[in-house]
A and B are shown apart, each in its own frame.
Chain A
Amino acid sequence: MNGGENMHELSLMESVVKQLRASAAENDIKKITRVLLVVGKMTMAVPDALQFAFEVLQKEDELLKGAVLEIREEPVRCECKDCGHLYEAPNYEFLCPSCSGPNVKIVGGRELYIDFYEGD
């Protein structure tokens, strides 16, 4: 892919930083040390690019300087609405492998949220 992908993660990471900033102000936290971000495999956010964007954004930032970003990836998980079969779909198999039905709902892999952060 081209540079567009980085721009995309940068704008996502700007939202992350905005949420962190707002929450830190609310909780009277002056320094964030660790952030856990949950990223589903079926989001279009690439962990390496997120990590890079975070490094760019934290550089000149008193609140975030030195903070460690951890990313937990969540697999693509599906549930068949016809037979109830639950399965992981790393290659996007959205036809149920058990009953071959098309009535499959994505129940995991679309996550993109800050689980928690730590700070002082």
Chain B
Amino acid sequence: MVKVRLATPVLQENNEVARENRECFRKHGIFVLNLMSSPGSGKTSALERTIGHLAGRLRMGVIEGDIYTTKDAERIETHGVPVVQINTAGSCHLDARMIRPALEDFDLDALDLLIVENVGNLVCPAEFDLGEDARAAVLSVTEGNDKPMKYPLVFRQSEAVLINKVDLLPYTDCDISQLEKDLKLINPELQLFQVSARLDEGFGPWIEWLQKKVQEKKAELGTTVMKITAADAAPGQGGAVPEESAAPGE
């Protein structure tokens, strides 16, 4: 009988590809956000609002992760930003290896921000590094107060949480102050943004935060956000974004 000690992380292979992706993003000066949530939290709607607000400010691309369909990518496409769909064919999360071929379909030098919408799932995506710079989660008030404590990893590893569907608060039993307290307990550094994607409310501070993150990375790399010309701006967006007051309750 032979005993062999290994002690190599099970996810080592994924982590190595993630490192290569990260290097690629650095080279092209792109800030990458991995957006995670459970199904039905309004992740795609929040992303659509985010695209609308960022039009004319940042050059954006989207990777859409979905198990089988192209429904979300079709929604994103109508906003005039480059989008690549990854179908995971049954797998419940994106991994670093799936991201790499998708990158070939973008003009990477023409992007400041790439948002990867992960497969709707609070469990597995949290384990797989894609090479992103930051993670954010969408959590809707209709999902119930207990989600942070049940799925702490995704919130521990996120830098920001969009608390969505706050317009529905009167119709739920969700105690939003308790929800925020739990999130902060899991991750005291979390940035919390109360939004309603349906009503397009509360996105101002989130957009500011995103822009700050992109600028910080550009500054670190010694590059700047390129001025967007009218021709680059997404059609139908006009580039005009109404200035917003602070998120409700914040």
Contacts and interface: CB of A to CB of B under 8 A. Distances in A.
A4 B123 CA distance: 9
A104 to B, nearest CB: 8
A19 B7 CA distance: 10
Interface in A41-97: 42-45, 91-95
A99 interface: no
A15 B124 contact: no
B124 A116 contact: no
Given A27-B4, A92-B149, A119-B1, A114 B185 contact: no
Interface residues of B, number: 33
B123 A117 contact: no
Contacts, number: 103
Q: Which of B13, B14, B124 is most buried by chain A, counting CB atoms within 10 A of its CB? A: B124
B147 to A, nearest CB: 12
Q: Which 8 A-B pairs have the closest CB atoms?
A: A102-B188, A4-B92, A8-B124, A114-B6, A92-B152, A116-B5, A112-B10, A44-B123
7 contacts: A5-B124, A11-B91, A92-B149, A92-B152, A95-B188, A102-B188, A116-B7
A118 B3 contact: yes
Contact of A115 (B5, B149, B185): B5
Contacts of A44: 123-124, 126-127, 151, 153
B10 A8 contact: no
Given A94-B156, A94-B185, A94-B186, A113 B9 contact: yes
Given A16-B10, A114-B8, 16 more contacts: A5-B123, A7-B90, A18-B13, A19-B8, A27-B4, A29-B2, A44-B153, A91-B149, A112-B127, A113-B6, A116-B6, A116-B7, A117-B6, A118-B2, A119-B2, A120-B1
B92 A7 contact: yes
Given A8-B93, A19-B8, A116 B3 contact: yes
A52 to B, nearest CB: 15
B189 interface: yes
A11 B127 CA distance: 12
B121 interface: yes
B187 interface: yes
Contacts of A107: none
Interface in B1-50: 1-11, 13-14
A8 B153 contact: no
Contacts of A11: 91, 95
B92 A23 contact: no
A46 B152 CA distance: 14
Given A8-B92, A94-B185, A114-B8, A45 B127 contact: yes
B10 A15 contact: yes
Contact of A27 (B2, B7, B91, B188): B2
